[in-house]
Amino acid sequence: MNLIKKFSKTFELLYQYDESSIPKPKGNKTIKKLNLHQVWNEIEELKRYLISKNQASELFGMRKNDSFKGILEHVFQTFDGVELLPTTEEKAANLLYYIVKDHPFIDGNKRIGAYMFVSFLDKNNLLNENINFATLTTLTLLIAKSHPNEKELIVNLICNLL
């Protein structure tokens, strides 16, 4: 019974996923937004690290077009002074989703998406024990393999995990 109680939230989320009805949690207000110049520097730092480990080539992080800038603009978009994605959790989940699904880079979309997700959470003091290497890997691959019509369900799942 202890295991059942310990993982009851898992069973609840799995049921809600099966029913396509994962609710969006309340969430937190964003403290720090992402600056495009700073983000490019972080991606270059990640690239240097991965190249040093023989886990990337010079193509890693190379932009296809301006779609990455568009992703950042979308995540922080407002209308009439109101943020369209009002919580940090929604912003982070959408950031990961769009980088992975929209492929704004020639190479490294999943790795860059995963890194930007945890970097943004860290900057906003929301990186916690729920997000470890296994969770981050699983979420990133779930997004990569998901059907586009599952976007809202997956984003809500990620928000609940945060």
- The model's pTM is 0.94
d(CA 45, CA 28): 28
What contacts 92, CB < 8 A, 6 or more positions away?
Answer: 117, 120, 121, 124, 126, 158, 162
Location of structure tokens 């993982």: 7
pLDDT tens digit sequence for 50-76: 999 999 999 999 999 999 999 999 999
Q: How far apart are the first and last CA of the chain?
A: 25
Q: Which two tokens stand for residue 123?
A: 């900057």
CATH fold label, 32-161: Four Helix Bundle (Hemerythrin (Met), subunit A) (1.20.120)
- Show me where the domains of the chain are located: 32-161
pLDDT tens digit sequence for 124-139: 999 999 999 999 999 9
